[in-house]
Amino acid sequence: MPGGYTGKILRVNLTTKAISKLDTEKYMDFAGGHGMGSAVFFDLVGAQLPFPAFDPKNLVIIMASPFAGTFMPGSGRSEVQGLGPGLYPIEWFAHSNFGGRFTAQLKFAGWDGIVVEGASDKPVYINVMDDKVKIEDANGVWGKNTWEAQLEISKRVMPNNFKMSEWAELASNCFTTQIPAVVTCGPVGEAKSRLGCLLSGPGSQAALCGFGGVFGSKKLKAISVIGTGHAEIADAKAMMDARLWFRQFQWDVDNPRDANVFEGMGYSLISGRPKGGNVANRLPSRAAACASCPRGCKERTQDGSTNEAVCAGTMAGGNDVMHRWGAGHWQVMATQGYMQRLMSQGIIGKGKEYDPGDLPAQGGGGMFGGGGASGNAYWEALYKKLATEDSKFAALVNEAAARMTQIVGRPNDINNGTVRLTYWGTQEHYSTPVEVEWGYGSLFGERDLMLHQMANYPLHWMAQVNPQYLTAEKASDLYRQAMVPYDDDRFLVDYGDSVETGTYSLSKIKLVAWTKHYEKFWHGMGFCGWRWPQCITNNTEDRKGATPNAEIKFWNAVTGKKLSFADCMEIGHKIYTLDRSIWVLQGRTKKLETFPDYIFNQGEGQGHVLPMYLNGKWVYDGGRGRKLDREKFEDFKTRFYKFEGYNPENGFPTAKTLADMKMPKVADALKKKDLLG
């Protein structure tokens, strides 16, 4: 096998209790990580689609990548795939991911991924210790919160040697300072809630799509992994050279560039300095990082609160309370907001059909923040109801915001923006009419894009902070230079609305295509959305970021494959086409692939400050009041399909495209159901 791979993927059937392996070699055309997971999903159950997310046929796939355990910067996330019960109106084949140590331990144990199928008749967890794999009884673990479950499982895996940061005997004459890496659902997931997430460590969530509920439907409490091996690297010298070269793009803790500017709070998320990712807690703390990441954007705080959580994970749902119960912050935020709306309108309330019972007042802190004692009492009570209570209120909220609109007879609440679920049941994140690669990229996918290092963090936040370290002209040009193979288009990141270069232009088709291909290849390799792509940075003199040079330096060093960045992006196009084929098998149509009415009918308030080419000049502007034009968007969609090699009339991949990409089995599956473009 090339460097970066172990050669085998673990396969566990919870119904038959069979434990086997898949050969990684079979899926090498899809590179690893997300692409390999998509290929496995299609191979094992593609012909059986469609079926529901809570059907035992659904798979939970957790993939490492060639970079796992190699110290490639910012590549320490585990990719989770399967049908997502949190998505709407169809439970699309979906992905989420989580950080921490799991992906490295999976590689050290000798596995490129784990595929879980079937469903157990009683609660279990999977115990992986190198090549020794067992399906264990979860009696005494089922019902525990995520933190308690991880501790209990770790003690069971290492019953006589569980010592934090001390040498422990893992097997005969085999010692380690590591403890198992455990990913688990909480009691909310056990209840098959569409709000359920997976959690590893104190605050690393696979927050989107409802995979905690899928664990619950399979009576799978957790997966524990500990390994004593290592990650193979094809060219160790090239890897070290790449690491040393990459230092120029990192925050220099001893001598930071322009520290008086970039140590300020306005740049905490984007400067690259340690910590800064915990946006809610200002207690004394030290930096913490996922495996392989030199930044350490997470924090371990003085009192232990909000440990290793970042961004909205530190603000929503009582944060630590939410993590312990195993609810996903991105679903919780939209659902809580809609709950409050229904309460204010008398649909949820005492004596009503959806009676919350003894739910305390929400208290301090509201939806965002820990909320103090009174706020946490509210969240503790709410999650307990969702996990344990057999009531119409709990059943309603466990369906999450999108399906709640249907149940209470208010389906138009999505279209009119009462609840702003812009893309497939996930909430509006940033302005769809302005930051088009986020809006279009989410809609042409299956969930909120969550690719913060595109325009959002580096451009939008920089443009709002004084001083701005790049002009709009320079920032847009540096981005364009990084976006191979479309780097010859000067207007790739023009967020204006001119006919020639703006919202509906060919330049934006290329931008959205680049974003999807990067997402599927590089982010599917465990890349962190807070680190990659890095088109600009404040840490170099010329402000050029590491993309596209870094990715390919590390790829070739680890795998030994001599590919170009453009080669990898074309593989990303192939992976995106495979995902799209799966969505077509599930029922994706051109008509279905559109935004709610409010995106077309309501003006975009303050907008979203980004580089725009207006009246012959590059400026930072917000696009105030902008809304999408339905006819122009439909035309854009048609042209995007054609650009990607899909039938412009329906968005289905064509026979020619699938033949060119060497995916004949996918073409056959679509043809059998008359879905070939």
Residue range 135-159, pLDDT digits in tens: 999 999 999 999 999 999 999 998 8
pLDDT at 369 over 70: no
Give me the sign of the Cα torsion angle 363, 364, 370, 372: negative
- Kindly list the strands in the beta sheet with 19-23, ordered across the sheet, starting from the edge strand earlier in the chain: 19-23, 8-13, 113-117, 60-63, 78-83, 93-98
Average pLDDT over residues 357-379: 66
Confidence at 362, pLDDT banded by 50, 70, 90: confident
pLDDT at 10 over 80: yes
Average pLDDT over residues 459-472: 88
- Cis previous bond, 284, omega within 30: no
Amino acid at 670: L
- Kindly list the strands in the beta sheet with 124-129, ordered across the sheet, starting from the edge strand earlier in the chain: 132-137, 124-129, 220-226, 181-185, 198-200, 204-206
Average pLDDT over residues 579-607: 94
pLDDT for the residue 282: 65
**Cα torsion through 424, 593, 452, 76, rounded to 10:** 70
Same fold, 8-226 and 436-672: no
213-227, 228-242, 462-476, 586-600: the lowest-pLDDT one: 462-476
pLDDT for the residue 48: 98
C-alpha span between 351 and 33 (Å, rounded): 50
The string of pLDDT tens digits covering residues 17-71 is 999 999 999 999 999 999 999 999 999 999 999 999 999 999 999 999 999 999 8
9-23, 189-203, 362-376, 564-578: the lowest-pLDDT one: 362-376
565 within 8 A of 551, measured Cβ to Cβ: yes
Is the domain spanning 436-672 CATH 3.10.20.30? The answer is no
Angle at 266 between CA 271 and CA 283, to 5 degrees: 90
41-50, 247-256, 568-577: the lowest-pLDDT one: 247-256
Give the distance from CA 531 to its chain's centroid: 13
pLDDT for the residue 166: 80
pLDDT at 374 over 80: no
Confidence at 467, pLDDT banded by 50, 70, 90: confident
509 within 8 A of 640, measured Cβ to Cβ: yes
pLDDT for the residue 363: 62
pLDDT at 286 over 80: yes
Round the average pLDDT of the chain to a whole number and report it.
93
Average pLDDT over residues 581-595: 98
Share above pLDDT 90 across residues of the chain, in percent, rounded to a whole number: 81
pLDDT for the residue 281: 63
From the list 294, 333, 341, the residue with the least C-alpha distance to 311 is 333
pLDDT at 265 over 80: no
Strands 8-13 and 113-117: parallel
C-alpha span between 52 and 210 (Å, rounded): 13
Share above pLDDT 70 across residues of the chain, in percent, rounded to a whole number: 97
DSSP structure class, residue 673: T
The string of pLDDT tens digits covering residues 194-243 is 999 999 999 999 999 999 999 999 999 999 999 999 999 999 999 999 99
The string of pLDDT tens digits covering residues 305-350 is 888 888 888 878 888 999 999 999 999 999 999 999 999 999 999 9
Place of tokens 């600009």: 536
From the list 37, 3, 5, 4, the residue with the least C-alpha distance to 520 is 37
The string of pLDDT tens digits covering residues 298-307 is 888 888 888 8
Confidence at 365, pLDDT banded by 50, 70, 90: very low
117-131, 366-380, 457-471, 553-567: the lowest-pLDDT one: 366-380
pLDDT at 370 over 50: no
Q: What is the pTM of this model?
A: 0.97
C-alpha span between 331 and 334 (Å, rounded): 6
pLDDT for the residue 259: 86
List for the chain the helix, strand, coil content (%; round to 5). Answer: 35, 15, 50
Domain ranges of the chain: 8-226, 436-672
The SS3 of residue 113 is: strand
Confidence at 177, pLDDT banded by 50, 70, 90: confident
Q: Residues in the chain, how many? A: 677
Structure tokens at 613: 């080419």
Amino acid at 555: W
Amino acid at 202: P
The SS3 of residue 9 is: strand
CATH number for 8-226 (one of 3.40.50.2300, 2.60.40.60, 3.60.9.10, 3.10.129.10): it is 3.60.9.10
pLDDT at 354 over 50: yes
C-alpha span between 308 and 203 (Å, rounded): 5
CA distances from 261 to 160, 273, 472, 573 (A): 51, 12, 18, 39
Which residues sit opposite 19 in a β-bridge? 12
222 within 8 A of 149, measured Cβ to Cβ: yes
Give me the sign of the Cα torsion angle 302, 306, 308, 311: negative
pLDDT for the residue 316: 82
